[in-house]
Amino acid sequence: MFSSIVLVVGILCPFLSGALGKEGDGQNLSAPEIYSACAVNAVPVIWLVDPANPDFVEKDWVRLSVLRNVLIDERFDSSLSLFLNNSVLVFSALNQDWSSHIKHYFQQLCDKHIHFSLIHLSDEAYSLSSPSFYKCAKKIFRNYYHEAYEHLPNLLFLPLGYTNGAFRGNLGNSQTPFLPPSQRKYVWSFIGQITNKPSREAMRSAMLQVEDRQDKFFSHTTQQWGRFDPSSVGPERMAEILETTIFCPSPRGWWNKDSFRLVEALEHGCIPIVEDDHELQGPLCGNPRVCAHNQPLYFQRLFGEPVPFLSLRDWAEAPSLLLPLLSDPARLAALQQQCLTWYHLYITRLGQRVAIALH
């Protein structure tokens, strides 16, 4: 089953401001005329997922940031029965039980000579991606950098982004200036799982050496990921914490270095701290050809450009990295501003690159 809705938002219609015209120029179009013109030019975006699925956590990121400059005609097709030319298919690899069905669906697209682009989300362990899986796609936008896909000329890597509800503009504070570090309550904060993740116990121990006063850091540990844990923090409370935090440690997930908290931190004016240990991650590292050399600067390759936020190879480095910054307020404020400026420009450029690629 699938449903459809055309999202007509000013910034998503490339010609909308021109269609409205200027007062008195005799070229103004009525709202129905604009809607009709926009709908004709909309790009079909097909979510290959049930919208009620709790794993469906990236729709805000895709709609509001990745496709921010694209007018979209949005559909949901959990039955994998919709074949539209020049469409954008959005697929999450979280549902591993679906792997054989999705592969068959993409083979049908190839056999029918359907022109499509793909937004491939999740897939942290690279379980459903290979050049053959992508061979018929016009453009590919995927999470998680890996050098095995770096040679594909039609592929652009995407960070995981933020989960639904974490976009600052949706929380009513998009016009509120970010607090500078000197006015933020918490030196650091972390919300999420600690146990059974490769480096998170070490992260917490190191961050407590930076600041261990109970009123100067915020730590909330869950037993499961995100909304699957009844004790998880909701988006509004999380935003409140991040808006008043200086540093946001962003350790790796199960396999990969990227996590949702990286972009969520940037979205709320925190300074992220990431792991960049120059090692390939995931099962593809069993392939000697793929792992012939170490992978340096993971996040620069993921974002496609140099990044300003902090990185370390080992969480034991955190005190020596952060304490000098905390003792130099001017330098700390400059780093926060650098992260804010870079993130704003990155999101702007990302939206432009995706729009150009799809048109």
The string of pLDDT tens digits covering residues 141-172 is 999 998 888 889 999 999 999 998 888 876 55
Place of tokens 């304490």: 323
The mean pLDDT of the chain is 81
pLDDT of residue 171: 58
State both tokens at 248. 């946001």
d(CA 45, CA 89): 6
Give 330's DSSP letter: H
Confidence of residue 102 (pLDDT cuts 50, 70, 90): confident
pLDDT at 128: 66
User: Between the CA of residue 186 and those of 164, 212, 234, 268, 343, what are the distances in Å?
Assistant: 24, 11, 18, 13, 22
Axis-axis angle for helices 318-326, 200-210 (nearest 10) = 30
Under the banding of pLDDT at 50, 70 and 90, the label for residue 31 is: very low
Question: What pTM was estimated for this model as a whole?
Answer: 0.83
Q: For residue range 188-214, list pLDDT tens digits in order.
A: 999 998 887 879 999 999 999 999 999
Q: What is the pLDDT of residue 289?
A: 41
